[in-house]
Amino acid sequence: MSEYFWLIPLFPAASSFILVIFGRWLPKKYVSVQAPLAVLLSFIFGLASFLKIYPRGLGHEAAGLSKTLFSWIHSGSFQIDFTFWFDQLTAVMVLVVSGVGFIIHVYSIGYMAEDRSYTRYFSLLNLFTFAMLLLVMAGNMVLMFVGWEGVGLCSYLLIGFWFERPSAASAGKKAFIVNRIGDAAFLLGLFFLLFNFKTASFPEINRALTDGRISSSLATLIALLFFAGATGKSAQIPLYVWLPDAMEGPTPVSALIHAATMVTAGVYMVSRLNVLYSYSGIAAEVVAIIGALTAVYAGTIALTQFDIKRVLAYSTISQIGYMFLGCGVGAFAAGMFHLYTHAFFKSLLFLAAGSVMHALSGELDMRRMGGLKKHLPITYSTFLIGAITIAGVPFFSGFFSKDAILTQCYAQGKYFLWLLGLTGAIITAFYMFRLIFLTFHGQERFSAEIRHHLHESPPVMTIPLIILAFFSIIAGYIGLPVVFGHDLNFFERFLEPVIIRAYETHLSLGIEWLLIIISSVIAFVGIFLAYVFYLKSPHLPHQLASRFPGVYRLLFNKYYVDEIYNILFVKPLVKGSEMVYYNFDLPIIDGAVNGSAKTVSFFGRILSLVQSGLIRDYALVFILGVAIILGLILF
């Protein structure tokens, strides 16, 4: 089966194609089977391929399956093939994307059951999965760019899925355009890469770097350009602005974007190019700093939001920041590990939030929730597991992965980044439990009407929640930190052949323990604070907000970044273009054209006066002419 690994992305592609072309004639039941099945097939083939390379992977051998389907774009020195590639890094991504993707597909059957564009929804969901699988299985950067843009497109289509709502249509457009800004930088990076490396294929890029053919400043430039692309796709400072608005899409789409596809693309790309990023110290540094800052920054915004999905969106931005932080300090495996655990708990949180919305007839505002614990027992308990995991409570998966990143920061001596990471962690724990308490505990603040309709979601939605909750708990045990014994970090060892160890550092066991204890304490402190603020004395947040109204408003309005971008970029572009059009293009350029025509006709009219048609005028001119000539001759 593994020799057919290149079929992995083609299953959802084929499924999507069928749904697009024949969708209108297909019964709903059929669609509900075909779409998830295609992704399941991808997962099965992914698993087979994984098992194939697994035994080799644990050694130090780089094991990659490679398949060139056909030559794609060949022109002069531009030689790009359509090549699929499957190595350890790909394996992790393929399993996450297709595995979590499959669960989201199943969940969607229930969630979207009533929607009139059911088939369109699944065709897009399949397309999204295809694009992401293409991205992670591409054997070269150009092909990766196809998937890279492909997920951008799908996010546009799915965020704007309910396009009759102007806000949804705008959010989709915003996502695409903001991503495009990053992609422009990505393209330039690609050109530098192709121009200097003469290749875009991953093994050869690594070879060129290890041969030392490339100067480190050039590597830095390329790495930074690619990272600029990643800030768009993975929603980091400064291009994160599209992700919170992406909430306009159906909730399972948010789960897909945040957990399995799209936003993790940047992290994957940086890990894929780990040799390049390690080669350029500066680029790695920038990645780490942007990651750490985003982790804290997005967390602070999440503190004040009341929209349940928006809180989760900012938490994603923040968690992706951690992944970049990990990659930036050279802990690519830890970054990927966090990506992997995050996929479970973030999709869990979103799907559980979707379940809450489902129960409350689409309500998103936590101020109109509360006390849902007893009404939605399964949703509550799974949501709680998700929250515990993301908060970093010991022995849940998020704890291990986040701790691996923070430990590495500390080990590298990047104490400032480590402190930022810890700050982010405490904020995360706080706002997640704020969400839990506001939503599920305390008084019921929803209307009687909604209360009447209140119901736990059907099994097709709750079973995915339970599965994801299960993995959120146990997923971390394949990557245990060194304090629990050597060689227990299977995850890191599996990735070892494809990820270079940039820094070999050893901390004493004592310090390792100390770091773990600090992170655990931090998590509990965050949760405790949330408890104090939102359960024990619910008036405290108000008091705090009125004590520091400026800070509160700044956070609540997301630092006004959207407004600032609008004033700095969007407005000047549109207004400037209008000014140029009405004051330059029409009157001056076009004016010159019409003006020259008018000038000609003006002189034409003057000259036409001579042609009066009257004999006496002509005779007069004739006589005058004769007189002048005679005068000239005679005198």
Partner 1 sequence: MSIAIISIITFLPLAGSFLLLFIPGEKKDLHRLIALLFSLITFSLSIVLFIHFDSSKAEPQMVEKSAWLGYGINYHVGIDGLSLLLVLLSTFLFPIAILSGWRYIDQRVKEYHIFLLFLETGIIGVFVSLNLFLFYVFWEVMLIPMYFLIGIWGGPRRIYATIKFVIFTMFGSLLMLVAIFTLYSFYYKATGVYSFEISDLTKLILLPKVQTWLFLAFALAFAIKVPLFPFHTWLPDAHVEAPTAGSVILAAILLKMGVYGFLRLAMPLFPQALAQFTPLLMILSLIGIIYGGCMALIQKDVKSLVAYSSVSHMGLIMLALFALNQEGLEGSILQMINHGLSTGALFLIVGILYERAHTRLIKDYGGVSRQMPVLAAFFLVCMLSSIGLPGLNGFVGEILCLFGVFQSYKIMAYLAVTTVILAAAYLLWMYQRVMHGPIIHEHVRSFKDLNLREILYLAPIVVLMFWIGIYPNFFLRKMDASVNFLLQKIEEKQKYFGLEMEPHKWRLIKPDLSEKEQSNPKENVSRPALAFREIFAGDDKKP
Binding site for partner 1 (CB under 8 A): 20, 70-78, 142, 145-146, 148-150, 153, 156, 160, 163-166, 169-170, 173, 176-177, 180-181, 183-184, 187-188, 190-191, 194-195, 573-574, 576-578, 580-581, 585, 589-590, 593-594, 597
Residues 335 and 264: beta-carbon distance below 8 Å: no
User: In the complex with partner 1, which residue's Cβ is closer, 580 or 619?
Assistant: 580
Identify the three-state secondary structure at position 78: strand
How many other C-beta atoms lie within 10 A of the C-beta of residue 458? Answer: 14
DSSP 219-272: HHHHHHHHHHHHHHHTT-TTSTTHHHHGGGS-HHHHHIIIIISTTHHHHHHHHH
Minimum distance of partner 1 from residue 246's CB (angstroms): 15
Q: Least Å distance between CB 558 and partner 1? A: 22
Q: What's the angle, vertex CA 293, arms to CA 290 and CA 298, rounded to 5? A: 115
Tokens 């799974």 map to which residue? 382
Indicate the residue among 156 and 446 with the shorter CB distance to partner 1: 156
Cβ 84 to partner 1 shortest distance, Å: 14
Q: Which is nearer to partner 1, 185 or 357 (CB)?
A: 185
Please tell me the distance from the alpha carbon of residue 257 to that of residue 235, in angstroms, as a whole number.
11
> For the chain, how long is the longest CA-to-CA vector?
125
Query: 194 or 343, CB closer to partner 1?
Result: 194
**Nearer CB in complex with partner 1: 265/527:** 265
Minimum distance from CB of 611 to partner 1 (Å)? Answer: 23
Please report how close the Cβ of residue 358 comes to partner 1 at its closest, in angstroms: 24
Cβ 74 to partner 1, closest distance in Å?
5
First-residue to last-residue Cα distance in the chain: 111
Q: Which is nearer to partner 1, 148 or 383 (CB)?
A: 148
Taking CA atoms, 392 is separated from 161, 319, 403, 433, 632, in Å, by 34, 11, 8, 12, 109
Beta strands in 98-215 (DSSP E): none
DSSP label at 478? Answer: G
Amino acid in the structure at residue 148: W
DSSP state of 465: H
**Residue 188 C-beta: closest distance to partner 1, Å:** 6
Closest to partner 1 by CB, 153 or 460? 153
632 conformational bin, left if phi > 0, alpha if psi -120 to 50, beta if neither: alpha
Indicate the residue among 179 and 489 with the shorter CB distance to partner 1: 179
Pick 106 or 124: Cβ nearer partner 1 = 124
Q: Minimal distance in Å, beta carbon 110 to partner 1?
A: 25
Distances (CA, A) of 90 to 53, 98, 498: 11, 12, 10
Least distance (Å) from partner 1 to the CB of residue 568?
A: 15
Minimum gap (Å) between residue 214 Cβ and partner 1: 17
Nearest 5 degrees, angle CA 182-CA 321-CA 60?
A: 95
Instruction: Give the Cα separation of 292 and 423 in Å (integer).
Output: 10
Residue nearer to partner 1 on the CB measure, 204 or 590: 590
